Structure 1
Amino acid sequence: MTTEIALSGPRTLANDPDLLTRVLTPYRDNCQYLKSAEVVLGDSEDHVARALCAFEIEESCYIDSTGHFNAVEFNICYNQMFYYIAAKAVQDGLFAPFDRWTMQDYWDRQLPDILIAKLSSSYRRAIHTGRFEGEIVVDKVLEREPSADRGAMVVLNTSCRFWDQAGGDSRGEVKIVITNAPVNGG
């Protein structure tokens, strides 16, 4: 059985530096690109939630500078946005199913069970990797109950974009699957 999750009522949550620090803990210091994130809920019937994010890449964590945002950095920045919005949803009980999870449920699953099932990205105009902005939108959330051959899952359809002050523009769509999801919280 699949259940679609809905949300009502506008709400904005400011950046939570302590949560952001914890979310970025698995990343090496030189790969912690997300600097702040503000979560917005219920501002549109077209999506569940979104986060407006600020990034800074002083130097690439894996290659000499290309001078522009590339596919690897897109993926890293996307992951950091998703990890933050999901952790914030759990911490503040923002929307189902995360409103039934504990923070320990989230931390236990952050790395091993949150998977990118599908990612597409486009680069319309080069983004300079100094300081730039990003946005993740949680478009749809589905819960899948456990069955005889698999555990409970959460599937999220998301979209994102990145831009800079010089008109740089990159966009993408990402499907996230969370395996081993807690059933009824916990």
Structure 2
Amino acid sequence: MMPQQLATDRELLDGVLRPYRNHSRYLREAEVTGRPDTVSARGRFGIAESCYIDDTGHFNAVEFNICYNQLGYYLIAKCVEDRLFEAFSTWTMADFWERQLSDVLIYRLGSRFRRMINPRAFEGEVVFQEPRVSVRPGRPAVMSMETTCSFWDDEGGSADGTVKLAFTRLPQLTA
């Protein structure tokens, strides 16, 4: 089966970035690729100035997390909109917008910085594995997803990481 390629949806990207302050909207464009057991998004980023600290001259851990969040939220939105994973089949876009900030949690994050990345212009990729829904007696269901990410620039800078996401208040159980 050929991978499904989805170009940047500008309206969706603008919606995903709406919760961020203007000076902290680092993701410029994103392309999504869907495969049977994984989906991924590649994005282009630019950080004109850090949203929280004087210029360090390089991409740092806080910006790593922010860029992961922005590309990850975009990829989740595409998973919902285009039904890229069965686990999102009961979600609507209204469900995503309602839960984007409150119910998509980073459960675990690990990052490695191999070479300094120029924050002015770089790229990144987030890869999602098939989500799992866990149901335990007397507790609300939780969906979890293992993800990986990487960032790089044209000068050989690179960083990568692993992130486990947890989704709470799943739509099919609260409707």
- TM-score, length of structure 1 as denominator length: 0.89
Match of 2:17 among 13, 19, 24: 24
- Please give the per-residue CA displacement for 1:18-43, whole angstroms capped at 9, x wherever unaligned: 0000000000000000111100011x
CA distance in 2, matches of 1:151, 1:141: 16
Q: Does 1:13 align with 2:2?
A: no
Q: Does 1:156 align with 2:145?
A: yes
**8 Å CA contact retained: 1:91, 1:103:** yes
CA distance in 2, matches of 1:101, 1:89: 9
Match of 1:183 among 169, 172, 175: 172
Alignment correspondent of 2:132: 142
CA distance in 1, matches of 2:121, 2:151: 11
Alignment correspondent of 1:5: none
Residue identity over aligned pairs, in percent, reads 48
CA distance in 2, matches of 1:12, 1:185: 32
Q: Secondary structure at 1:97's aligned position in 2?
A: helix
Q: Does 1:117 align with 2:107?
A: yes
Q: Secondary structure at 1:100's aligned position in 2?
A: coil
- Which 10-residue stretch deviates more, 107-116 or 96-105? 96-105
CA distance in 2, matches of 1:122, 1:170: 5
Unaligned 5+ runs, structure 1: 1-7
**8 Å CA contact retained: 1:116, 1:177:** yes
Unaligned 5+ runs, structure 2: none
